[in-house]
């Protein structure tokens, strides 16, 4: 993914039999995802205009340009959708997009390097930073809370973390 695009949602598959899809929006206001169209696939090979039909449990029902059947909607299940960063609202000084965190160095409160952020995940309870570093065989999932990650310095390319004891051993 290039830095000029941000993942704003994903397709959960078909919704009904008339070509609608179940759309999971990663936007603060879920229905805003349609304002950032055309949305593209990660590799940029597919592009979609988006029309929101209604809110449904766990997402939105939406129509995507070029998707007219249930089978076409199901074929897109899991496809992540990207918008141009220039189409998204500017962030305030203390705000950022999760995409901006990828690649940042993670330091502990003593200034020791813990690793690099590879991804931001959310499995339902809260956001987690996936961190990988030198000497690590697997990634570590660090809770992304103000208590555990008190400082995010996008301009400085780092975050300061106070991880739970034993997490990085």
User: Which residues touch 160 (CB under 8 Å, ≥6 apart)?
Assistant: 107, 108, 109, 149, 150, 151, 153
Q: In 18-165, where does DSSP find H-type helix?
A: 70-75
Mean pLDDT across 121-149: 88
- Where residue 3 falls among pLDDT bands split at 50, 70, 90? low
Rg (C-alpha) for the chain, rounded Å, is 18
Size of the chain in residues? 169
Say whether 71 sits in a helix, a strand or coil.
Answer: helix
Is 124 a residue whose pLDDT tops 60? yes
Is 85 a residue whose pLDDT tops 60? yes
Q: Which domains does the chain have, with CATH numbers?
A: 5-87 (2.40.30.60), 98-161 (2.30.30.240)
Is 2 a residue whose pLDDT tops 60? no
DSSP annotation of 139 reads: -
CA 63/CA 81 separation, integer angstroms: 14
- What does the pLDDT read at residue 67? 96
- Where residue 104 falls among pLDDT bands split at 50, 70, 90? very high
Mean pLDDT across 92-107: 87
38: cis peptide before it, omega within 30°? yes
Mean pLDDT across 105-134: 89
- What does the pLDDT read at residue 136? 87
- What does the pLDDT read at residue 1? 41
Q: In 62-151, where does DSSP find H-type helix?
A: 70-75
Average pLDDT in the chain: 91
* Structure confidence by residue, pLDDT tens digits, 23-58: 999 888 899 999 999 999 999 999 999 999 999 988
């Amino acid at each position: 993914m290039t830095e000029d695009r941000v993942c704003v949602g994903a397709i959960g598959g078909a919704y009904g039999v008339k070509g609608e899809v179940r759309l999971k929006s990663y936007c603060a206001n879920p229905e805003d995802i349609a304002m950032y169209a055309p949305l593209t696939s990660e590799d940029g090979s597919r592009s979609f205009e988006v029309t929101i039909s209604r809110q449904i449990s766990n997402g939105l029902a939406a129509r995507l340009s070029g998707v007219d059947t249930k089978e076409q909607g199901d074929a897109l299940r899991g496809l992540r959708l990207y918008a141009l960063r220039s189409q998204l609202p500017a962030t305030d000084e203390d705000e950022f997009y999760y995409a901006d965190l990828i690649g940042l160095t993670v330091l502990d409160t003593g200034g020791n390097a813990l690793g690099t952020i590879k991804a931001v995940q959310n499995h339902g309870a809260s956001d987690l930073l996936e961190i990988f570093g030198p000497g690590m065989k697997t990634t570590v999932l660090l809770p992304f809370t103000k208590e555990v990650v008190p400082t995010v310095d996008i301009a400085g390319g780092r975050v300061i973390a106070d991880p739970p004891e034993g997490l990085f051993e």
